[in-house]
Chains A and B, each alone.
Chain A
Amino acid sequence: MTLAEKYSQEIQAIFAKYPPEHKRSAIMPLLYLAQREEGYISRQAMEEIAELLEISVTEVAGVVGFYTLYHDRKEGKYRVQVCTDLPCALRGADEFLKELSQALGIQPGETDAEGRFTLEEVMCIGACHRAPVFQVQSAEGVMYYENMTVEGALEALKKLE
């Protein structure tokens, strides 16, 4: 089923946000919609979005590639994105990532054998005062986990399954 068939109402609501002559503005919400399917944006979805917006597939792929929250390949069901930027690192984020990585048995950038978790090291997510922090990105969206310990993180991740 195409996105237009499956989400016709939502797509209409997205287009209604922008002036009709500037429908290209709808690309970011449409990409989020496409990503909701499988946690990544398939080539087919990019083609469909290009058609909806009357732009080239290359332009759509260019937007997908530019932003870090869009993904063009399948990884783990849950992307565990740990912030290790300066403010978080000053409060132990590097050690947290290392220990979490050991506990999950995967290095940053890797996905576990079951395809559940992908561990990622990310830039600032705006929660510096509650470090160590990570967010979990999945088809459903983004969730924050703040003031974390490794034990607390493992417990929270367990609940996701």
Chain B
Amino acid sequence: MTQYLLLRHREIPEISRLEVYRQHGGFEAFRKAVTEMTPDQVTEVVKASGLRGRGGAGFPTGLKWSFMDRKSWPHYVVANADESEPGTFKDREIMEGNPFQFLEGVAIASYAVGAQRAYIYLRGEYQHIARWLDEKIAEMETAGLLGERLFGTDYSLRIYTHLGAGAYICGEETALLESLEGKRGQPRVRPPFPPSVGLYGKPTVVNNVETLTNVPLIIQNGAEWYRSMGTSDAPGVKIFSLSGRVKRPGNYELPFGVTFRQLIYEYGGGVLDDRPIKAIMPAGASSSLLRADDRLLDTPLDYAALRPLGGDLGSASVIVIDDTVSIDWVIQKTLRFFKHESCGKCTPCREGTYWMKHLIDHIRANGKEEKQVQLLLDVARQIQGKCLCALGEFSTMAVVSGIERFGEDFR
């Protein structure tokens, strides 16, 4: 693909400058939304475009916006820039390269849900990006694109950045909100969901950076235009973060429906040392391990297509594992991560990740006794379906799929 929709800085290097972004139609969508459309009309267009959340869950974005409780005010928009899934580095490139399109997306989302205050929650390691966005926000204020009575209407909006401080769990939306409220980032019991009770107890939309960056183009060009790309299950484009044992790791913006074979060989240049692919993790460390057979490699990718193959597309953070790698080692790596990142609030996850890590260390150090492998599998299954948020569930994905699908590595 030659024309970028999200990673436009690769074609227009200076698009991070306000005047250049505006020369390329920047902020026309925001102006159009505020001056020519009602908030509901904006939401309807996004709904009709079929845009789904790019943070991993794939929830329809317009539908989420329409859930905002109209009896409770004020409303908030929070951009989730916590990007912490191992294998994910796409939001960072958007914010570094094409910051105004993202900020315009935040602004349009805010108008659509009637929010006059929006926060961007960035992972603590992205301090340089927070400073960069602060500069861009200040430029927007000076240019009259943020502030009071925008474009001569009654609508006012301010955008603020907020830095996390190193906690994977804060990518979970209710943990993120707790963190933004100044507490430890531990997930809330849901329901209620944030569009009913969110930041400071008020209705809140939490959207991923990549999701929001799609919005200006959808408003500008219409839902039908957006639907002309991708698949019927997942219209539009997706940034695939490709990592692991490939020759050219990086971000690839491609329409949904691309295959793993195209992504890995055409774009990623193939596997290091030209080894065969053994397994693919399509959604970062939270993925099930998928055996890389022809059927998998040639499946057009969207959310629905991967389910019958026993996987989830998630945030499309594709980790490639070749035949030099043993799956028990992969599991040890993912468990080390989840044990460290478990927030400790709910018992199955806190204790479960501890014991799974303990067991895989034991198995790898002392030989793969069948009894111990079975025990690890049992502990993982005991965790499933019992946790407050998805982290506990995620911690079991590689364990269960790895032992079931790559049994030869556990004998």
Chain A interfacial positions (CB closer than 8 Å to B)? 17-19, 22, 24-29, 31-32, 53, 62-63, 66-70, 85-87, 89-91, 122-131, 135, 141-144
Contact = CB atoms under 8 A, between A and B. Distances in A.
B191 interface: no
A148 to B, nearest CB: 15
A49 B53 CA distance: 37
Contacts of B333: 85-86, 89
Interface stretch (B33-41, B221-229, B241-249, B384-392): B241-249
Given A17-B160, A86-B334, A67 B251 contact: no
B287 to A, nearest CB: 10
Contact of B243 (A31, A69, A122, A129): A129
B125 A128 contact: no
> Which range contains the number of B residues in contact with the other chain?
35 or more
A129 B249 contact: yes
A25 B251 CA distance: 33
B250 A126 contact: no
A127 B92 CA distance: 9
A48 B125 CA distance: 25
B89 A127 contact: yes
B89 A129 contact: yes
Interface of B: 83-89, 92, 117, 123-128, 160, 162-168, 179-185, 200, 241-245, 249-251, 281, 285, 319-321, 325, 330, 333-334, 337, 340-341, 343
Contact of B182 (A53, A85, A91, A123): A53
A126 B180 contact: no
B166 A69 contact: yes
13 contacts: A28-B182, A66-B185, A67-B124, A68-B167, A86-B334, A90-B319, A122-B166, A124-B285, A128-B241, A129-B249, A130-B249, A131-B243, A142-B125
Contacts of A125: 125
A69 B334 CA distance: 21
Contact of A28 (B165, B244, B249): B165
Contacts of A142: 124-125, 127-128
A92 to B, nearest CB: 10
Nearest to A25: B182
Given A19-B117, A126-B88, A144-B128, 9 more contacts: A32-B165, A67-B164, A69-B166, A86-B330, A123-B337, A124-B86, A124-B88, A124-B285, A127-B89
